[in-house]
Amino acid sequence: MSERHGRTRDLFTIWFSANLGPLTVVTGALAPTAFGLSFGWSVAALLVGHLGGGFLMALHSAQGPQLGVPQMIQSRGQFGSVGALAVILVVIVMYQGFFASNLVVGAQSLNQVVPAVGRGEGVVLGALVSLAVAVVGYRLMHRIGALTSWAFGAVQLAGAAWLLFGGLPDGFLDQGGFSLAGFLGMVSVGALWQIAYAPYVSDYSRYMPADKAGIRSTLWCTYAGCVLGSLLPMVVGAAIGVADGGDPIAAQSHLLGSPLGQITLWSFALVTMLTNSMNLYGAVLCAVTAVQTFAHRWLPRATGRSVIGGVLTALSVALALVFADSFMTSYLNLIYVLQYVLIPWTAINLVDFYLVRHGHYDVASFFAKDGGIYGRWNVAALAVYALGILAEIPFMAQSLYTGPLAHALGDTDLGWIAGLIVTVPAYLLAARLTARKPAAVDVSATATVPTTGVPAP
């Protein structure tokens, strides 16, 4: 407990800055370019998605100070020590996908201001900077978050003001339209953007003292930072998508003019390199957690963590170079797949923490070789997780697959809603049928029990 430190307001800056990159702008541009929405309906869909998804994500953040362990280790309390691997592996894929996506748009931003730096060189440069920040660790990320929130936040506010109050073409508000499928599709994208942080959002709050970082303050500081930080660039992206309809990164220069457009692109390139380290940091945490499932005494030192980070970085660079030419299609497919597998997990995790166990866990059991009181497998939780995914299939609507019920509803994707509706009551019922008395939290154990081999700040 004596090693716990930090302030909940620091969570605002790290999550605000984490969303200021070009990938956020590109995602906002999907509203008009992929879903055909007007600017007004784009903003409405973004608001609904971010406000709802952000609250679920922030509930995960509030778990951190209470237990002091990474989110994926805490998931052993629901799925068992080995059963949690099913989610951990999915989350590693998610990290790699977002890491690669950020590398692509970061390289595009850099190429716009320094044409001599090609896409391949930009991807490698961004990856190396992100790796260096991740290796240094959590403290540096918080300091970068505080700096970039003010510096790059001011740049983006200036760009948004210029664009929305004079930089848009005539008839801008008359372009695009509305469709239920497009609106719900963009709501899903906004919600998933927030929920995608859920598997590691508490990794940045777990070092804070539980007596000072309460559930409410942790939740609202995280919520405000992440929602505000993502809404601003996504609204700008939606405006660019309506006004230009092409590459939202390249459009920055002629819509914002010089020098504001050039400064914005520089900030995009730099913030991507710096904050993309969070994806790598989370991936390393998950990789170490996965190995510790079978070698629970293994604690990698700095060199070992650096090697793991280097391997994961190389994989993301390869992904970025392979899929760069079909980036938007590949990125949208990634968002859909993540949505289908993360929604049932987040429902189970939150229901278990807040409604079933009320925050009471036996932390030492998370690290026990046999899974302690949670065992190796929680068959009931895994069955509910699978049921949640299966319930989504008939309601899926995307380029890879459209379910029969989604097609009957005009190709409207309601898969994530079906996943929530089925998973929440199913897990509550399963928890009641397999009821175990919740163990008391031994918070003092979190200072001495090994977590993931990643050093505290």
| The pLDDT of residue 440 | 47
CA 387 to chain centroid: 23
The fraction of the chain above a pLDDT of 70, given in percent, is 92
Closest of 281, 292, 309, 278 to residue 452, by C-alpha: 292
CB neighbourhood size of 424 (10 A): 18
Q: CA of 90: how far to CAs of 93, 187, 197, 349, 365, in Å?
A: 5, 22, 13, 15, 23
Question: What is the architecture, at CATH level 2, of domain 9-337?
Answer: Orthogonal Bundle (1.10)
Burial of 301 (0-12, 13-18, 19+ CB in 10 A): exposed
Model pLDDT, residue 447: 37
Task: Note the pLDDT tens digit of each residue in 345-356.
Answer: 999 999 999 999
d(CA 415, CA 397): 8
54-108 confidence digits (pLDDT tens):
999 999 999 988 888 888 889 999 999 999 998 899 889 888 988 999 999 999 9
> What residue spans define the domains of the chain?
9-337
pLDDT of residue 256: 82
CA triplet 393, 399, 404: central angle to 5 degrees? 40
Alpha helical stretches, state H, 244-276: 251-256, 260-275
Q: What is the pLDDT of residue 449?
A: 41
Cα distances (Å, whole numbers) of residue 348 to 60, 177, 190, 270, 333: 11, 36, 21, 37, 24
Interacting residues of 78 by C-beta distance below 8 A, sequence separation 6+:
84, 348, 349, 352, 374, 378, 381
Which residues of the chain, if any, have pLDDT below 50?
1-2, 437-457
CB 162 within 8 A of CB 256: yes
In DSSP notation, 95-144 reads HHHHHHHHHHHHHHHHHHH-TTS-HHHHHHHHHHHHHHHHHH-HHHHHHH
Q: Cα–chain-centroid distance for residue 266?
A: 23
Identify residue 276 by its one-letter amino acid code: N
Instruction: Give the mean pLDDT of the chain.
Output: 86
Given a contact cutoff of 8 angstroms between Cβ atoms, the answer to whether 192 and 56 are in contact is no
Type of residue at 60: H
